[in-house]
Amino acid sequence: MNQFFQRSIAAAAAVLALTAGLAAGAAETQSSSMPILMYHDLTQDPNKISSMTITDERFRLDMEFLESFGYTPLFPSEVEEIGEGKRSLPARPVMITFDDGYLSNYTIAAPILQQTGMKATVALIASHIKDADDTDTSRHSLNWDEVKSMYDSGLFRFGSHTYDLHNPKYGGANAPDGINGIMREKGESQSQYTERVGNDLAQSISLIKQHTGQTTVNYFSYPYGAYDRWMQPILEKNGIKISTLTNAGMARPTYGLYNLPRYGIRMDRTVPMVLRQRATAAPTTVTVSLNGKKTTLQAYSIGDENYVRVRDAALLLSGCEWDYAVGWSEEKQQVTLSPREQYTPIGTENKVLSPQKRTVQSVTEPTIVEGQSHMIAAFCIDNYNYYRLRSLASVCGFDVDWDEANQTVKIVA
């Protein structure tokens, strides 16, 4: 068994406990909407990206965005409970889905999900999943041993993308006659359709249960997003409670669980773009204790967090062991941070903030730290980037704590 999954199985209870904690501690403002993200394949080769394939770095940045902004990932069973009124929708819910069952879901996605506290649901084309003893070294799909390890890790649950109705006679490509996936064939009666498609769905569900030990398969992803109303009673008969299409939009699980929209994520349509945060920023000051010496930083209060200007924090830490330099890439429109390098002031630090509240949006580009991209929660206000001190600490190496009694941020640098 893959060593990563051996560690993941041991950590599964902790991961699920963390998720429950996030849900329990969600913000007071509840929303009826939930984004469902749609992925397919991942690659480490930038030359192999496509509308269905993104890089491992892009996926990591997407998951870092979700983690940084406090999103709670949900499995289909949890979404079903929300739809039935048995569970409240978290303040920032998200459902992460993969279609087809590519090997990269195991080799690339899994470690990133664990690192960021996320979890995902994979809709399998069951006929594509290989036997454990398959010796094809060029295979692109998962095998059943890998599917089982993914399930046991606690990071994944599985749904159906049919057994073998993903246009096999066209090699998975769109049908020239427009009849894709589970759509009825020309001249096919409803009884014929129910037998053909119903048997296919039942076979896929049976194989998933058999090979994973997953007792309930309640999720179905329509191949190509191609809907047919004759499919609905077949889903219900087979215990499918949630189905998704491929049209973009926010799902509203408290209003219904079938035919939910999803955001297809690509290199040019990223999670930070799709889920760009829009919030009210109120000017404030933060009391800071740096290595025991008190001072203040100007900040914006956004939600329940204070965000400080990255250069103001850099000037504050200048000369400390864990100071950092700040740069700007005009070409990429990205902030660059260089930990343990002397900060050079540019004269605009500690600029007095406007007293008015304003509506702000989150940054969509990553921050570059020592040459590596990181998707840190940040907002651009008056052409300056503002970060949480704790987020800066996580990438620059200094320590941050909160002194509740004195309402002070304690920094050890």
C-alpha pair distances (Å), 342 with each of 91, 345, 397:
40, 10, 14
Helix (H), strand (E) at residue 89: none
Q: 270 with 305, same domain?
A: no
Amino acid 252: pLDDT? 97
Q: 219 with 297, same domain?
A: no
Amino acid 134: pLDDT? 72
Q: 55 with 189, same domain?
A: yes
Spell out the alpha helix ranges (H) of 93-158.
104, 110-116, 144-152
Q: Provide the residue range defining the domain that includes 38.
A: 3-274
DSSP state of 320: S
Q: 268 with 300, same domain?
A: no
Q: 134 with 22, same domain?
A: yes
Amino acid 12: pLDDT? 45
25 phi/psi in degrees, rounded to 5: -100, 20
Contact assessment for residue 287 and residue 296, using Cβ atoms and an 8 Å cutoff:
yes
Give the three-state DSSP class for 301.
Answer: strand
Amino acid 9: pLDDT? 45
Contact assessment for residue 115 and residue 59, using Cβ atoms and an 8 Å cutoff:
no
Give the count of domains, the chain.
2
Q: 304 with 269, same domain?
A: no
Amino acid 23: pLDDT? 36
Q: 54 with 185, same domain?
A: yes
Q: 256 with 290, same domain?
A: no
**Pick from 229, 149, 143: which is nearest to 184 by CA?**
229
**Pick from 410, 359, 360: which is nearest to 386 by CA?**
360
Of 241, 274, 307, the residue that ends a domain is 274
Cα–Cα dist 132/137, whole Å: 12
* Per-residue model confidence as pLDDT tens for the chain (413 residues): 555 555 554 444 443 333 333 333 333 334 789 999 999 999 999 999 999 999 999 999 999 999 999 999 999 999 999 999 999 999 999 999 999 999 999 999 999 999 999 999 999 999 999 887 777 778 899 999 999 999 999 999 999 999 999 998 888 889 899 999 999 999 999 999 999 999 999 999 999 999 999 999 999 999 999 999 999 999 999 999 999 999 999 999 999 999 999 999 999 999 999 999 999 999 999 999 999 899 999 999 999 899 999 999 999 999 998 899 999 988 888 999 999 999 999 999 999 998 999 999 999 999 999 989 999 999 999 989 999 999 999 999 999 999 999 999 999 88
Of 274, 304, 339, the residue that ends a domain is 274
Of 248, 274, 300, the residue that ends a domain is 274
Q: For the chain, how big is the Rg over CA atoms in Å?
A: 24
Q: 269 with 283, same domain?
A: no
Cα–Cα dist 375/386, whole Å: 13
Q: 27 with 84, same domain?
A: yes
pTM beyond 0.75, yes or no:
yes
Q: 316 with 223, same domain?
A: no
Q: 184 with 265, same domain?
A: yes
Cα–Cα dist 387/83, whole Å: 35
